[in-house]
Amino acid sequence: MSEPLQIIDADGSLTGTVPPPELDNSTLIQLYTAIVKTRAFDSRCMNLQRTGKIGFSVPNRGIEATSVGAAAALDASKDWFAPHYRDFGMLFYNNVSAESMFDNMFGNADDSAVGRQMPVHFSFTEPLKWLSISSPLGTQIPQAVGISLAAKMRGEDAVALTTFGDGSTSTLGFHSGMNFAGVMNAPTIFLCQNNQWAISCPSSKQTVSDGYAIKGEAYGVPSVTVDGNDVLAVYMVMKDAVAKARAGEGPTLIEAITFRLGGHSTSDDPTKYVPAAELEKAEAEEPLKRFRIYLINEGVLTDESADQIRTDADAEMLAGARAAETKGRPVLSTIFTDVWQEQPAHLKKQMEYCIQHYSERDEAVDENGEFPL
């Protein structure tokens, strides 16, 4: 494996090997704030799950810099995101509201998926083009290639980013997507979040390749390895990959070396299988602490302003969760009304029958067709 690109080391100091990207202070603060918001969202979701208010969440702790650095390099007005379920930071960087994300966590009437997806399986068309997240691994990868090719055929100046964990490199979607992108010279960026563990399966049992970036060679796809805990380094390699894709130079595979500090989900306890020494080392190298130190050293933040960002993030998450929790459930009719732009007669008849059926059986369906849960 080649040495990962690193700009900020674990102590928050510049390595001196590569100069940092030229970003203004507002962008640096936006990067930092998105990481902080992701961590605050994680914490609030854990509390909600543990108190039985939501059923499930996927911790992002430790992965935030990879997601946020990647998001910063794309143009949300025209580029496409085909993510997996550990990319909350991309949404927060693009100013998706906490309330709209909690709407999905509760599956309420304002949820963009109208309660038909698992929690954390977000789908948005505004303020960014965000493909609905899927639980099965790797399915979003060939979809991203198709999206980017469609944009290319239309003459649009758009690229597609697809993200996935190290475990997803063992799926058919990864291999078919990479091969198709290489053959078709698709403007697709493949971002592998190598967080070391696919649930309880370590990378050493996932592949005997020299890392994951090398897998691009088989498909003629250029690749690069980056320190995924260094948000500036991730931004730099992603910016380069996006520029190449826009220029017609095809896809890039990026392997971001990071570490999942929480469980695979709220149903998982990583202390049962991750060696304590490995967790301790990962904690010392985690992305939020190093970026905070760097920004304070550079005079972009102070201890007080950094603390205020966290206070504001915690308050935003609490308010978003409380607002989402008070909203009603999706009504039964949405199963039918979401299918067609103009509802055909036979579907309208089925909808009316379904609502009447549940109402007559006294299954908690009111005259508005409240969903029988």
**Facing residues of 192 across strands?**
164, 255
70, with CB counted inside 10 A (0-12, 13-18, 19+), is: buried
3-state secondary structure the chain: CCCCECCECCCCCECCCCCCCCCCHHHHHHHHHHHHHHHHHHHHHHHHHHCCCCCCCCCCCCCHHHHHHHHHCCCCCCCEEECCCCCHHHHHHCCCCHHHHHHHHHCCCCCCCCCCCCCCCCCECCCCEECCCCCCCCCHHHHHHHHHHHHHHCCCCCCEEEEEEHHHHHCHHHHHHHHHHHHHCCCEEEEEEECCEECCEEHHHCCCCCCCHHHHHHHCCCEEEEECCCHHHHHHHHHHHHHHHHCCCCCEEEEEECCCCCCCCCCCCHHHCCCHHHHHHHHHCCHHHHHHHHHHHCCCCCHHHHHHHHHHHHHHHHHHHHHHHCCCCCECCHHHHCCCCCCCHHHHHHHHHHHHHHHHCCCCCCCCCECCC
Radius of gyration in angstroms for the set of CA atoms belonging to the chain, rounded to a whole number:
22
Measured from the Cβ of residue 337, the count of other Cβ atoms closer than 10 Å reads: 14
For residues 103 and 48, what is the distance between their CA atoms, to the nearest angstrom?
Answer: 13
Pairing of strands 201-202, 197-198: antiparallel
Q: Give the active site residues.
A: 260, 264, 273
**Minimal CA–CA distance to 147: which of 193, 96, 181?**
181
